[in-house]
Chains A and B, each alone.
Chain A
Amino acid sequence: MSASSAGRAKAAGAKIIRYLDVVKRYGEFTALEGVSLDVHAGEVVCLIGPSGSGKSTLLRCTNGLEPIDGGDIEFEGARLPRDERALRAVRQRMGMVFQSFELFPHFTAQQNVAEGPRTVLRKPAAEADRRATAMLAKVGLADKAPNLPAALSGGQQQRVAIARALAMEPDVMLFDEPTSALDPETIGEVLNVMKILAQEGMTMVVVTHEMAFAQRVADWVAVFDAGRIVEQGPPRQIFESPLTDRTRDFLSHLGWSG
């Protein structure tokens, strides 16, 4: 299904990530069967669809956590490298937030956020710390700096994880179901941080089951099913007048009335 640029407000921005006919297999199972999608600078692109439809896989291929088996992924105009060293340089430009937070449990919130600047960017300790303090403040957790992750709620842990990714000053943020492991009452605080990022113009690719977030915040939505994008377009199209039965089925399954 080809992407139409009509109604794509930020389409003028450079294409920062391009997925070109991406194929990913796990043994016999084909997780992605030729997925094509553009992400423009400053856009929020939400990937939605049923579990196992390939949206998380595509996200994990974006920073090379999973190698692809066909097609291409371009980042800032260059093909995603296969070579580990070059791939690391790319990963430093992409922040990633995981469903299960994956904070480092032996580090405090502050140390978690300072770790990237410190170890990867080799910043002096004072500068890494300054950045960590600023990023924790940004996600509203300045007072939690000395706490270990175990002493934080799920929502707080995920906000620290966002701060950890932001401390690398990435060009793109990748979110892999960032609220799926959270209690309902803490989902909102994480989504709010993400909204603020979006308003600041951060380029974001978000795998999510939060349809309200996708509708309100996304510039572009791609609907996945069985390893393919069955429909993509602006949220108004996807949520109000979907072009395919598959999108309609998926949304009605979630009780989405439009």
Chain B
Amino acid sequence: MTLDWSVVWKHRDALMAGTATTFLLTIATMAIAVPCGIVVAVLRLYAWRPVRALATGYVELFRNLPLILVVYWAFYVLPILTGLGLSPLATGLAALSLNVSAYNAETFRAGINSIRRGQVEAAMALGMTRAQALRRVIVPQALRRILPVLASTWVSLFKDTSLVSVIAVTELAYVSMQVRAQTFRVLEMLTAMAVLYWLLGYPQAKLVDWMQRRMKVTE
């Protein structure tokens, strides 16, 4: 078998654009899923009982569905639910956000629970409301504590964005598959894809490790 690597270089523009979309998807998903995760975690912990149950139901539903199923589901159901003709990108973003928010909610819940009770009591003793105690005292500490978990979620998410290729979001995986289909250069394109994902993913993981060391709170 002869390998022709020039196919990768020839389609570099498309691959770059796909990479940009992959980054955009990852960043946008996290930008949505971190605040949503905090809100859902707080609802699960402190809200009025029925709301709490609803939040728990949401987390348990989306944590236990295969992401690819959620992607398809969003593609077919969201337009019916919202009455909007959403772009593949927006649909993919919605599916990823639904999934990652559920994971983040669990992460935040564990983080909030790990802050000892005395911290809330100290905040309450100052006269803070529960919301102020959460915002000023508990969540910032929880955030630092769960940074390693968020980091691995981020790195997983970066790779999992490839799943939205099934609904034709033109991110890195979709573009690579397109090139493969047009050129029949299967091994070259799969290898290129692997190299690109790894080269892009590894520094991100290291960067988050570094952030985590820097932001570490010692007690």
| A interface residues with partner B (beta carbon < 8 Å) | 63, 65, 84, 88-89, 91-92, 94-96, 98, 100, 102-106, 115-116, 119-120, 148-150, 161, 164-165, 168
Contact = CB atoms under 8 A, between A and B. Distances in A.
A91 B128 CA distance: 9
B140 A98 contact: no
A195 to B, nearest CB: 22
B144 to A, nearest CB: 7
Contacts of B50: none
Contact of B132 (A63, A65, A102, A119): A119
A63 B125 contact: yes
Contact of B141 (A63, A91, A100, A106): A106
A102 B118 contact: yes
A104 B142 CA distance: 12
Interface of B: 118-119, 121-129, 132, 136-137, 140-141, 144, 217-219
A215 to B, nearest CB: 28
A163 to B, nearest CB: 12
A91 B127 CA distance: 5
Task: List 9 tightest A-B contacts by C-beta distance, closest first.
Answer: A92-B127, A102-B122, A96-B125, A150-B218, A91-B127, A102-B118, A120-B127, A116-B126, A88-B127
B118 A100 contact: yes
15 contacts: A63-B125, A88-B127, A95-B125, A98-B118, A102-B118, A104-B119, A106-B144, A115-B126, A116-B126, A116-B127, A119-B128, A120-B127, A120-B128, A150-B217, A161-B122
Residue among B119, B122, B123, B219 with max Cβ neighbours from chain A (10 Å): B122
A168 B118 contact: no
Nearest to B137: A104
Contacts of A120: 126-128, 132
B126 A164 contact: yes
A105 B217 CA distance: 7
Nearest to B219: A105
Nearest to B125: A96
Contacts of B136: 104, 115, 119
Given A98-B121, A120-B132, A168 B127 contact: yes
Contacts of B122: 96, 98, 102-104, 161
A165 B121 CA distance: 13
A63 B125 CA distance: 7
Contacts of A104: 119, 122-123, 136-137, 141
B53 to A, nearest CB: 23
Nearest to B115: A105
Contacts of A102: 118-119, 121-122
B94 to A, nearest CB: 33
Nearest to A92: B127
A148 B144 CA distance: 15
A88 B129 contact: yes
Contact of A65 (B121, B144, B218): B121
Given A100-B118, A119-B132, A106 B127 contact: no
